[in-house]
Amino acid sequence: MRIQSLTRNEKYYRLATLTNLTPLVSVIIPAYNAEKFMLKTLESVLSQTYKNIEVLVIDDGSQDKTAEIVKSIAQKDSRVILLQQQNVRVRYWLTGNQK
């Protein structure tokens, strides 16, 4: 039998995973006509080593294929959630800047 040597971080991660001690991290991605960047953005977020995440994509009334791209990824990965709304300039809503 081979005994695997683990780093301190790996031991903590395994213990935390087994005991559900890892906090859920929410990643919020505002999007408007972001089809050129959405696939790479989601791939980057989902490939992080920390796995207990939810990815909320707020589609602010995109006129391109942003929502379709997010939906296709969400079908494969339940951590991705698409929230759609009419265009209300979500960037300003998130920052509180009404200018």
Specify the pLDDT at position 1: 40
* Nearest partner of 42 among 62, 67, 17, judged by Cα: 67
Q: Using one digit for the tens of pLDDT, what is the confidence trace for 45-69?
A: 999 999 999 999 999 899 999 999 9
35-50 CB burial, b ≥16 within 10 A, e <16: beebeebbeeebeeee
Of the candidate ranges 22-31, 32-41, 82-91, the one whose mean pLDDT is the lowest: 82-91
Average pLDDT over residues 40-45: 98
Q: Is pLDDT of 17 > 90?
A: no
Choice between 38 and 99, residue whose per-residue pLDDT is larger: 38
